[in-house]
Amino acid sequence: MADFLSAEEWARLHDQKFLLSKRIIIQKCEERLWSVAEVLRPVLVELRSHGLNIPLTQPKVSKGDNYQGLPYLVLDFPRHFVAHKVFAFRTIIWWGHFFSFTLHLGGLSLEHFRETLSQTLTQKPQPDLYLSQGSDPWQHHYGPDNYGLLDEIDTERLRTHVKEQTFLKLSIKYDLAHLSELEPLACSACLRLFGLLSSNN
């Protein structure tokens, strides 16, 4: 019977270190996400003190091995997921791809900020900011059917999109090479994305 595994697959099967290394890497990434939650907490408290209605729930880290076949980790903080209201700031690390920061709004949360976002998203250029384009709020890849660069969307189409969508995600992504800067980048992304929820910025 011909080998059912390729030479590379046989090598992986004999490699004990790879999965052990993966386990350690996942553990270290999870620890960094909890660190992000700690540095975000005072930032969120400060934003709330300026009148921004942010739910201060407990942070949650989720992880899995099969988002499009690869491991991932997600920190949700703040987070509020119910059928009629979604408000979350999500920090995602996707093995082999990127890490990202996403403001996810749906239901009553989106209704509350819809008019403000129609203004703030069109007031000035937003380099490297992505806007959700797909129909599934739980997809996180940056393919053209899921995200588009905000600055490449004309103003009228952008306003229509914000007005009509049942959910909205605004996202910033980074190459994994910058993962050592996770905490300061998270704070910067949080301030930038939450700043779009106020017309005073």
Tell me, letter by letter, the H, E, C secondary structure of the chain.
Answer: CCCCCCHHHHHHHHCHHHHHHHHHHHHHHHHHHHHHHHHHHHHHHHHHHCCCCCCCCCCEEEEEEEECCEEEEEEEEEEEEECCEEEEEEEEEECCCEEEEEEEEEEHHHHHHHHHHHHHHHHCCCCCCEEECCCCCCCCCCCCCCEEEHHHCCHHHHHHHHHHCCEEEEEEEECHHHHHHHHHHHHHHHHHHHHCCCCCC
**What is residue 200's predicted lDDT score, i.e. its pLDDT?**
72
* 2 lies in some domain: no
| Segments forming the whole domain that contains residue 153 | 7-195
* 97 lies in some domain: yes
**What is residue 3's predicted lDDT score, i.e. its pLDDT?**
85
Per-residue pLDDT at 188 exceeds 70: yes
* 99 lies in some domain: yes
* 123 lies in some domain: yes
**What is residue 1's predicted lDDT score, i.e. its pLDDT?**
61
Question: Tell me: the pLDDT tens digits for 135-186?
Answer: 999 999 999 999 999 999 999 999 999 999 999 999 999 999 999 999 999 9
* 76 lies in some domain: yes
* 117 lies in some domain: yes
What is the rounded CA–CA span in Å between residue 119 and residue 151? 14
* 1 lies in some domain: no
Per-residue pLDDT at 201 exceeds 70: no
Question: Tell me: the pLDDT tens digits for 11-45?
Answer: 989 999 999 999 999 999 999 999 999 999 999 99
**What is residue 2's predicted lDDT score, i.e. its pLDDT?**
65
Q: How many domains does the chain have?
A: 1
Per-residue pLDDT at 73 exceeds 70: yes
- Angle, CA 141 vertex, CA 41 and CA 181 arms, to 5°: 40
**What is residue 38's predicted lDDT score, i.e. its pLDDT?**
98
For the segment 108-115, the average pLDDT, to the nearest whole number, is: 95
* 200 lies in some domain: no
| Per-residue confidence band for 124, with pLDDT thresholds at 50, 70 and 90 | confident
Question: Tell me: the pLDDT tens digits for 89-109?
Answer: 999 999 999 999 999 999 999
